[in-house]
Amino acid sequence: MATVASPYASTNDYALTPAQNAFALLGRVLIAALFIPSGWGKIAGFSGLVGYIASKGVPLPEVCAAIAIAVELGLGILLLVGFKTRWVGLLMAIFVLVITPIFHAYWAVDAAQVMAQKQSFYKNIAIAGGLLAYAAFGAGAFSVDGSRRRT
C-alpha cells in the first residue's frame, strides 16, 4: 500500500526566493499585529467580552471568550514566529469565518450601522483569505518551520 504524503510536509515548502520569504515574514508580522494585541486586550476585558458574546446569543460565552483569547493570542504568536504555520493558518481562518457572520451581521443591523458592519465583515473575509494562503503555502524560510526544515 502506497503512503500518501501530507500536504503539510512538502519538501519544497521553503524553495522560495529571498523576496518571497521576506514577504511571507512581513505578512505574518502584519496579521499577527492584528490578532496578538486583540487577544491581550480580551484578557484585560474578559468580563466585558463575555457580556458582548452573550449579547449575540452565543452559548457558553465564557468558553467562547477563552477560545477567542487562545486563538488570537496563542495562535497569533505561533503565526508570528512561524511554528506549525499551515495548521495555525487553517485554524485561525476557520475561527475568523465562524465568528464573522455572528459579530458582523450587517444584514441584521439598523441602517446607521450597515456600512461599518459590512466593512468589518469583508475585512474579516479578506483576513481569512490571507490565513488560508499561509495554510496553503507555509511560513517561508524565515520562520521556526523554515529553520526546522533546514536542519
Quick: pLDDT tens for 68-95: 999 999 999 999 999 999 999 999 999 9
Q: What is the pLDDT of residues 7-59, one digit of tens each?
A: 444 445 557 899 999 999 999 999 999 999 999 999 999 999 999 999 999 99
User: In the block, which residue shows the cell 474579516?
Assistant: 124
Alpha-carbon distances, residue 43 vs 21, 47, 69, 76, 119 (angstroms): 33, 9, 7, 14, 26
Q: Rounded to the nearest 5 degrees, what angle is found at the Cα of 19, between the Cα atoms of 18 and 21?
A: 65
d(CA 81, CA 99): 24
d(CA 93, CA 88): 8
Q: What is the pTM of this model?
A: 0.87
d(CA 81, CA 79): 6
Residue 55 pLDDT: 96
Residue 88 pLDDT: 98
User: In the block, which residue shows the cell 463575555?
Assistant: 50
Residue 2 pLDDT: 53
Is pLDDT above 80 for 4?
Answer: no
d(CA 94, CA 90): 6
Short-list 102, 103, 93, CA closest to 125: 93
- Judged by DSSP in three states, 143 sits in coil
